[in-house]
Amino acid sequence: MNTADRREAGTIAREGADNASARPEDTGDLAATSKTGAPERTGPVPRSLQRGTVDISVAIMTHPERLAEAEALAAAHPELAATVVVDPDPGRPGNVACAAAAWKARRPGATHHLVLQDDCRLSKRFVDTVLDLVERYPQQALSLFTYWATGTAAALRTAAAAGCRVAEVRESYFPTVAAVLPAHLADGFGEFFDAYAAELPEADDVAMGAFLYWRGVKRLAVVPTPVEHTGTESLTGNGYQGDRESVCFEDDAEAAGLSWDAAEPDAISGMDPTRAGQEHGYRAERNLPTRFFVAPWTHRHGPKAFTALGAATAETDQAAAVAAFLEAEPAASPLLLSSLWLAGYAFGADLVATPVRTYAPEGPRTPNRLPVDPAAVSDLLDAPVLAQCARAAAKGLGAFDPALSGLGSGSEGTGVGEAVDAVGPLSATGGAGTAVANAADADDPALRAASVPVADLPGGAVAIPSSTGHRLAHRSALARTAEPTPARADRIAALADFYRAAALAGAAHGRRD
């Protein structure tokens, strides 16, 4: 697509916003969502995102090069009457300009506005889940998708253990793959962008996080998520995270038995597989913020997490568990396995030893200590949502090690994780050579750095940009592969069982305190 085409496509959002004001609100008539030559849909279309006093308009944000995906998503869900908003400034790095245009596309009269990115898949219960959530938290910023490896995902796992579907977002950014804002905040973000466009970060989630912090808005996430992320390519430099799938997608696990209350844990545990060459597993404890955008959590990775838990023998137990797994899967990465075990162990210990406050919308916090009985912990881990959370984490972590999860060329050869182990901790200048991974990637902003250490892996070169520190930029090595195979499913199940066993071991430790 040439520059002229991109500029023409970029006018769609502005024209669409003008058209939105003329759209009939009483009949539900759906005006054309774009001006790309595609057939225009007209006539009465029921808006499904309406209930009582809640009326949610919908926009799908996209880049000119991904317009087809956005239009396909809109066509698959005509009941949403979604407006497709194309980036008005596609030459600008990142997607914040497109996001601002999408939030400005709120239908007049709508009480809330929902923005979807073009690489979303909606659950079968999407409409009911969104309406239930908005009815209970009408004034909050609501994220409908959470990446499995985030602190928010860790908080949601604990929330599910406490019988809740909601937890506060733990990152300074706000997840914007799919999000809902009340009308005044949706409009406000557009005004925020107009006022500070030159100063805002390139990524919309970071810019939105700054806006919501500035406005003092509570930011909430939900589990299971009614949205799944479907793409690997990223316009904002997140391709190094692979598929970036949900902590627990709603179609994969029913939320039976979970309430719409929110949970507020004092400790969370999870995995950050982008810490190349370092321990990915961690446990974090809540503390007080000290200055703007300093997360109110103290993170401890590796042995420090065990020390904080007072688990003197945990490292020995971890080494034995990893060694036993490696007997069956010798090509697996010891580092990734130890990370998964640490995260599971800390989660289990906190289930029985760390209080979690729960609260109804706008209600008081209620202390809620999780079960201490061994059978109760086992049953809790086997409940649909937590079991799927374990599978999602196993699949996601395994994606960094094709030899382990079957996401790459199979169980033969060296996996990505082992290559990362070999690279070791990286400084800003790296220590594994300097190059650009592939000629085709030369224009990729994520690979445009002063020095780029490179590790050769089975699926292609993996570059670790100096500009992203320890992050692993893996385009070709971790690309989506063919349909899942039985062997791949078995490996993911084995990893999930490994995480579950670690959680039970952690719960046993917690009961001794």
Examine residue 444 and state whether it is found in any structural domain, yes or no.
no
| Helices first, then strands: H and E counts in the chain | 15, 18
Cβ atoms within 10 Å, residue 477: 26
Examine residue 387 and state whether it is found in any structural domain, yes or no.
yes
**Structural tokens at position 80:** 């949403």
Q: Is the peptide bond before 224 cis (omega within 30 degrees of 0)?
A: yes
User: 187 and 273 in one domain?
Assistant: no
Q: What is the model's pLDDT at position 354?
A: 81
User: 190 and 282 in one domain?
Assistant: no
User: 318 and 217 in one domain?
Assistant: no
Asked which of 208, 241, 265 is the last residue of a domain, the reply is 265
Query: Which CATH number does the domain housing residue 52 bear?
Result: 3.90.550.10
Tell me the C-alpha distance between 436 and 431, whole Å.
14
Examine residue 344 and state whether it is found in any structural domain, yes or no.
yes
Examine residue 175 and state whether it is found in any structural domain, yes or no.
yes
- Residue 465, SS3 per DSSP: coil
How buried is residue 45: exposed, middle or buried, by Cβ count under 10 Å (0-12/13-18/19+)? middle
Q: What is the model's pLDDT at position 46?
A: 53
Contact 159, 146 (CB under 8 A): no
> Which segments of 105-161 does DSSP mark as H helices, in order?
126-136, 151-161
Tell me the C-alpha distance between 417 and 222, whole Å.
30
Q: What is the model's pLDDT at position 91?
A: 86
User: 207 and 109 in one domain?
Assistant: yes
Q: What is the model's pLDDT at position 448?
A: 30
| 447 closest CA partner among 481, 422, 472 | 472
pLDDT tens digits in sequence order for the chain, 513 residues long: 333 333 333 333 333 333 333 333 333 333 334 433 233 434 444 568 999 999 999 999 999 999 999 999 999 999 999 999 999 998 888 899 999 999 999 999 999 999 999 999 999 999 999 999 999 999 999 999 999 999 999 999 999 999 999 999 998 899 999 999 999 999 999 999 999 999 999 999 999 999 999 999 999 999 999 999 986 554 544 544 455 799 999 999 999 899 999 998 888 888 877 665 667 788 888 775 444 444 567 888 878 888 888 887 888 889 999 999 999 888 888 888 998 999 999 999 888 888 788 888 877 777 766 665 767 889 999 999 999 999 998 888 777 765 554 443 333 333 333 333 333 332 222 222 222 222 233 333 332 332 223 233 233 333 322 222 222 333 223 333 334 577 778 888 899 999 999 999 998 887 654
User: 207 and 107 in one domain?
Assistant: yes
Examine residue 335 and state whether it is found in any structural domain, yes or no.
yes
- Residue 426, SS3 per DSSP: coil
Contact 336, 496 (CB under 8 A): no
Examine residue 104 and state whether it is found in any structural domain, yes or no.
yes
Q: What is the model's pLDDT at position 443?
A: 34
Longest C-alpha distance within the chain, in Å? 68
Cβ atoms within 10 Å, residue 289: 10
- Residue 55, SS3 per DSSP: strand
Q: Residue type at 167?
A: A
DSSP 436-450: -S-GGGTT-GGG-SS
Q: What is the model's pLDDT at position 458?
A: 30
User: 196 and 172 in one domain?
Assistant: yes
User: 205 and 272 in one domain?
Assistant: no
β-pairing, 54-62 vs 112-117, is parallel
150 Cβ neighbours under 8 A, 6+ residues apart: 170, 171, 175, 247, 270
Asked which of 265, 281, 296 is the last residue of a domain, the reply is 265
Contact 85, 13 (CB under 8 A): yes
**Left if phi > 0, otherwise alpha if psi is -120 to 50, otherwise beta: which for 140?**
beta
Across 68-108, the runs of DSSP E, i.e. the strands, are 83-86
**Structural tokens at position 112:** 């809330």
Q: CA dist 432 to 173, 412, 425, Å?
A: 31, 24, 10
**Structural tokens at position 365:** 């916090």
| 444 closest CA partner among 273, 241, 234 | 234
Q: What is the model's pLDDT at position 504?
A: 92
> What are 289-296's contacts with CB under 8 Å, separation 24+?
292/213, 293/172, 293/210, 293/213, 295/151, 295/170, 295/171, 295/172
Q: Which domain holds residue 287?
A: 266-358+371-401+484-512
Q: CA dist 462 to 97, 397, 466, 471, 478, Å?
A: 30, 17, 13, 11, 9
User: 287 and 172 in one domain?
Assistant: no
User: 260 and 276 in one domain?
Assistant: no
Q: What is the model's pLDDT at position 319?
A: 92
Q: What is the model's pLDDT at position 284?
A: 85
Examine residue 54 and state whether it is found in any structural domain, yes or no.
yes
Q: What is the model's pLDDT at position 361?
A: 83
User: 186 and 62 in one domain?
Assistant: yes
Q: What is the model's pLDDT at position 397?
A: 78
Asked which of 236, 265, 294 is the last residue of a domain, the reply is 265
Tell me the C-alpha distance between 223 and 235, whole Å.
26
User: 246 and 131 in one domain?
Assistant: yes
Contact 153, 147 (CB under 8 A): yes
DSSP 184-222: HHHHHHHHHHHHHTTTS-SSHHHHHHHHHHHHT--EEEE
Structural domain count, the chain: 2
Examine residue 213 and state whether it is found in any structural domain, yes or no.
yes
Q: What is the model's pLDDT at position 351?
A: 87
User: 206 and 134 in one domain?
Assistant: yes
